[in-house]
Structure 1
Amino acid sequence: MHHAAYFYLEMHTHELTVPYTNKPRRIRVLLPKDYQKNENKSYPVLYFHDGQNVFYSRESFSGHSWKIIPAIKKNPDIPQMIVVGIDNDNENRLNEYSPWPFTNTPIPEGMRLGGKGLNYADFIMNVVKPFIDSHYRTKPDKRHTAMAGSSLGGNITQFMGLEYADQIGNLGVFSSASWLTVEAFNRYISRQKLDPSQRIFIQVGTQEGDDTDRDLTHGNMKQIYINASLSYYQQLLAGCMPQDRLQLIIAADATHSEEAWATYLPDCLRFLSEEW
């Protein structure tokens, strides 16, 4: 019955103070269908970086959103979940989404980009997650906690998945830009004991790279992105991650855009939620 997809999902908006800037950050919470009715039911949670781009195209940086609301409505086989969109900090986005300063970039002397990722990760795990778990009926354990992001949001997802492996069980890594800090990332992942119970979905397109990227590197953008995702996948396998806990999609003709990521979001949600 085609009318089944027409229902309303309730969304709540909160402003939480970021400790290291002392400024409020918008956090939006999309509740599953019938959340208010099923008072005894608790739900897994998916945390999303770049929250502005997740829900509505009119708000999105690119004019396209991840279309998570239609993804949930049109794919009733995907288990119900609470979706938390954490806004980025615009001018500080590059800093917050990278734990390490950028090295592979011809940026002007004196400009330091990247390196605030630890602070941001700490904000998510010690302010946002406890707030969500105390205000909503969540399943707060690792197995029912997922995180997703694209580009630099993919970088911070990769990092947090390693740093907080005991709390985040599922990762959606789209078009990771880990090439920006490749040596630091490789060093970091090689020193971590990987968690074989995690589920990790990785997607990259063959037509990646945008204008900002071209300012940050002299290399072949398309290949740089593919290599970044392949390298991550291989590092996970080398670290003894079971292959069936990983899904890698190299998508022909997919670009570095919300449009492309939205296309693969249902696949990602399906894979990450397989044990919910």
Structure 2
Amino acid sequence: MPIMKKSTGLKLGLLLPLTALVFRAEAQVTIEIRKVPEKTPATDTLFLAGNPNNWNPRNPAFAFKKAANNRFYLTLPQGEGELEYKITRGSWEKGETLANGAGRGNRAYKAKAGKDTIRLEVENWQDNFASPAKVHTAASNVQVLSNEFWMPQLKKSRRVWLYLPPNYATSGKKYPVLYMHDGQNVFDAFYSYSGEWGVDESLNELFKTQGKEVIVVAVDNGGEERMNEYTPWRNARYGGGKGDAYVDFLAQTLKPYIDAHYRTKSEKEHTGVAGSSMGGLISLYAALKHPEVFGRAGVFSPAFWVSPEFYEYAAKTKVAKDLKVYLVAGAKESKEMVPDMARMRDLLVKQGMKPSAFVYEVHADGEHKESYWQREFPKVFSWLFAK
């Protein structure tokens, strides 16, 4: 959501894992916005979107108050650590930019003991500039399975995408299936909020050059519900707790539907689940909770930071002998990313996973964004579904 927008500068960092703030009474920060662009609507509210609120561009708890001096003020919860943030007017389409409309990087501040004030100016807003037209990029063998696929476990409906191999209509063959999250970002840049993975182009190329074939089913995230649905444990600050219902939907509702309506190899050794950030976390959880369904898991840049309970869960869960897991992340992600992933790797080994059953990779140039996951996807897919 996503776990995290990073496109055209405006949304930089929305999908980045949070740098956890360790609260203590003696550290408190007030942000003062001394100046905003002349065209700023007087009725608009300004918000802080950053790692303290999971990059929510319209979190009421992080709304600025306008004072009589025409400046805006927000006092953050007491804490320490590095703050990363941007200013918005309630959405990323109305986020701050540089004066010429170019995207600006995340603002950063390292909390100090005692009280402190950050004084800043907003140079311009994204909606003061014409945005480049978005175009559809999905290949012809991608379709929307349903715009309102019912999820009984969550009592909601959701758009679901379907990729069929280029030879599906003519072969009569059965195919393995890969289930993916954040469907908005999987195939079509038109619907993407932070860049697309280009899964369809990658798979079409692998089909052409190596004869690899797979059906991909991608479920859109629920926007504001993304955090809630992609972790089974409730986090007091960021939400969560609906992950069990979500993975049950994948295993008990969506997969049976796909198997009934398409030519699939339904066995677990031919069924995988993959995603990034929060999607990486829920992918591994799905494989551990439903070992009878998912025999393959592609875990990209997993956001284990939001669910420390996962470690205890993994330590108590017997890992299926035939499960294959690919753990991959970049060294340029948050400082917690690589240590957290290494800790999970060690737990899986302790639970009996053999070295041949998983891959653990850290790339020095890897960043928390779609272009990195797009680059790594073909290799991860090829290993997971190697014959």
* TM-score, normalising length: structure 2: 0.61
| Corresponding residue of 1:177 | 303
Q: 1:67 aligns with which of 198, 203, 211?
A: 198
Q: 1:253 aligns with which of 341, 365, 372?
A: 365
**How far apart are residue 21 of structure 1 and its match?**
4.4
SS at match of 2:298: strand
Q: 1:122 aligns with which of 245, 248, 253?
A: 248
Asked whether the 8 Å contact 2:325–2:359 carries over to 1, the reply is yes
Distance 1:78-1:224 versus aligned 2 partners, 3 A rule? farther
**Aligned mates of 1:23, 1:193 — CA distance in 2:** 32
**Aligned mates of 2:169, 2:204 — CA distance in 1:** 17
Asked whether the 8 Å contact 1:49–1:85 carries over to 2, the reply is yes
Matched, 1:90 2:223: yes
| Corresponding residue of 1:52 | 184
**Aligned mates of 1:239, 1:58 — CA distance in 2:** 42
| Corresponding residue of 2:9 | none
Which runs of 5 or more structure 1 residues have no equivalent in the other structure? Answer: 1-6, 209-221
SS at match of 1:74: helix
Distance 1:206-1:129 versus aligned 2 partners, 3 A rule? same
Asked whether the 8 Å contact 1:16–1:27 carries over to 2, the reply is yes
**How far apart are residue 98 of structure 1 and its match?**
0.3
Distance 1:249-1:78 versus aligned 2 partners, 3 A rule? farther
Which amino acid in structure 2 is aligned with residue 73 of structure 1?
N
**How far apart are residue 12 of structure 1 and its match?**
4.1
**How far apart are residue 265 of structure 1 and its match?**
0.2
**How far apart are residue 147 of structure 1 and its match?**
0.4
| Corresponding residue of 2:316 | 191
**Aligned mates of 1:271, 1:49 — CA distance in 2:** 19
In the TM superposition, 1:133-152 aligns within 5 A as 133-152=259-278
Higher relative contact order (CA 8 A, sep 6+): 1
Which amino acid in structure 2 is aligned with residue 225 of structure 1?
M
**Aligned mates of 1:12, 1:38 — CA distance in 2:** 22
Greater alpha carbon shift after TM alignment, 184-193 vs 17-26: 17-26
Asked whether the 8 Å contact 1:10–1:32 carries over to 2, the reply is no
| Corresponding residue of 1:160 | 286
Which amino acid in structure 2 is aligned with residue 48 of structure 1?
M
Q: 1:205 aligns with which of 325, 330, 342?
A: 330
Larger Rg: 2
Asked whether the 8 Å contact 1:8–1:33 carries over to 2, the reply is no
Asked whether the 8 Å contact 2:150–2:157 carries over to 1, the reply is yes
Which amino acid in structure 1 is aligned with residue 329 of structure 2?
V
Q: Hey, which of these two has a bigger chunk of helix by percent?
A: 1
- Show CA shifts across 1:13-50 (max 9, x none): 223112244332111111001111112x1000000011
**Aligned mates of 1:243, 1:223 — CA distance in 2:** 25
Distance 1:78-1:113 versus aligned 2 partners, 3 A rule? farther
**How far apart are residue 167 of structure 1 and its match?**
1.2
**Aligned mates of 1:159, 1:198 — CA distance in 2:** 12
| Corresponding residue of 1:240 | 352
Distance 1:10-1:58 versus aligned 2 partners, 3 A rule? closer
Which amino acid in structure 1 is aligned with residue 326 of structure 2?
F
Which amino acid in structure 1 is aligned with residue 289 of structure 2?
E
Count of residues paired in the alignment: 246
- Show CA shifts across 1:166-208 (max 9, x none): 21110000000011111x1111011111112111111101111
**Aligned mates of 1:190, 1:78 — CA distance in 2:** 38
**How far apart are residue 59 of structure 1 and its match?**
1.6
Asked whether the 8 Å contact 2:142–2:200 carries over to 1, the reply is no
Distance 1:20-1:157 versus aligned 2 partners, 3 A rule? same
C-alpha RMSD over aligned residues? 1.5
Matched, 1:263 2:375: yes
SS at match of 2:362: strand
Q: Hey, which of these two has a bigger chunk of strand by percent?
A: 2
**Aligned mates of 2:342, 2:189 — CA distance in 1:** 30
Which runs of 5 or more structure 2 residues have no equivalent in the other structure? Answer: 1-138
- Show CA shifts across 1:147-181 (max 9, x none): 00100011111111100012111000000001111
Q: 2:175 aligns with which of 31, 37, 43?
A: 43
**Aligned mates of 1:192, 1:245 — CA distance in 2:** 16
**Aligned mates of 2:156, 2:284 — CA distance in 1:** 26
Distance 1:10-1:119 versus aligned 2 partners, 3 A rule? closer
**Aligned mates of 1:155, 1:89 — CA distance in 2:** 16
SS at match of 2:255: helix
* TM-score, normalising length: structure 1: 0.85
**Aligned mates of 1:185, 1:23 — CA distance in 2:** 26
